[in-house]
Amino acid sequence: MQTKWAKTVILLCLVLVVSLAACSRPSKPEDEGEQEAEKVLTTDVVVVGAGGTGLAAAASAHDNGAEVIVLEKLAFTGGSTALSGGGISATGTKFQKAEGIEDSKDSWMELWKERQATSNPDGMYPDYEFVDMFMDEAVITTEWLADNIGHKYARIEGFGLDPVRRIHFPANGGREVIQNLENYLKEKGVEILTETPAKELRTDDDGDVIGVVAEGPDGEKIVIEAKKVILATGGFARNEDLLARFVPEAKGTSELTVAAAGSTGDGILMAEKVGAVLYEEPWIIGMGIGTRIEGTGAIGMDWTKLYVNGEGKRFANEQMHYAIATNKIIEEDVVWVVLDSAEANADIIASLEKAMPTDEVAKAESFAELAEAMDVPVDNFVATVEEYNQGAKTGKDAMGKEPEHVVAVEKAPFYAVKAYPKTMGTFGGVKTDEHFRVLREDGSVINNLYAGGECANKILYNQVYISGSAVQFALTSGRIAGEHAAKNLD
3-state secondary structure of 289: strand
What fold is seen in the domain 292-418?
A: Flavocytochrome C3; Chain A, domain 1 (3.90.700)
Give the pLDDT mean for 253-262.
94
Q: How many residues does the chain have?
A: 490
Q: What percent of the chain has pLDDT over 90?
A: 90
pLDDT value for 37 = 63
3-state secondary structure of 179: helix
3-state secondary structure of 121: coil
pLDDT, tens only, 114-127: 999 998 999 999 99
- Residue 361 near residue 415, CB atoms below 8 Å: yes
pTM of the full structure = 0.89
Q: Taking the alpha carbons of 103, 106, 110, 115 in that order, is the dihedral positive or negative?
A: positive
The total of other beta-carbon atoms located within 10 Å of residue 304's CB is 17
pLDDT value for 36 = 52
Give the pLDDT mean for 220-235.
98
Give the pLDDT mean for 366-371.
98
Give the pLDDT mean for 76-102.
97
pLDDT value for 3 = 44
Distances (CA, A) of 375 to 44, 291, 318, 338, 369: 62, 18, 22, 14, 10
pLDDT value for 10 = 41
pLDDT at 63 > cutoff 90: yes
Give the pLDDT mean for 449-474.
97
Angle at 301 between CA 296 and CA 303, to 5 degrees: 110
| pLDDT band, residue 149 (cuts 50/70/90) | very high
Provide the residue ranges of all domains of the chain, joining segments of one domain with +.
Answer: 39-283+425-487, 292-418
**pLDDT, averaged across the chain:** 92
pLDDT value for 260 = 95
- Report the Cα 33 to chain-centroid distance in Å: 40
Spell out the residues 6+ positions from residue 410 whose beta carbon is closer than 8 angstroms to its own.
340, 342, 389
Q: Which of 330, 406, 340, 347 is nearest to 120 (CA)?
A: 330
pLDDT value for 1 = 43
> Which strand ranges, in their side-by-side order, compose the sheet holding 335-339?
306-309, 335-339, 414-418, 361-364
Longest CA pairwise span in the chain (Å): 126
Q: Taking the alpha carbons of 257, 258, 259, 260 in that order, is the dihedral positive or negative?
A: positive
Say whether 292-418 and 39-283+425-487 share the same fold.
no
Give the pLDDT mean for 161-190.
96
pLDDT at 27 > cutoff 80: no
pLDDT value for 106 = 97
336/314 Cα distance (integer angstroms): 10
| pLDDT band, residue 31 (cuts 50/70/90) | very low
Q: Which of 178, 219, 179 is nearest to 195 (CA)?
A: 219
- Residue 427 near residue 461, CB atoms below 8 Å: yes
pLDDT at 387 > cutoff 80: yes
458/134 Cα distance (integer angstroms): 13
The total of other beta-carbon atoms located within 10 Å of residue 9's CB is 10
Give the pLDDT mean for 282-294.
96
pLDDT, tens only, 268-285: 999 999 999 999 999 999
3-state secondary structure of 71: strand
pLDDT at 22 > cutoff 70: no
* CATH no., domain 39-283+425-487: 3.50.50.60
Question: What's the start-to-end Cα distance of the chain, in Å?
Answer: 85
Bond from prior residue into 126 cis (ω within 30 degrees of 0): yes
Q: Which helix (H) or strand (E) holds 307?
A: strand 306-309
Beta pairing partners, 203: 209
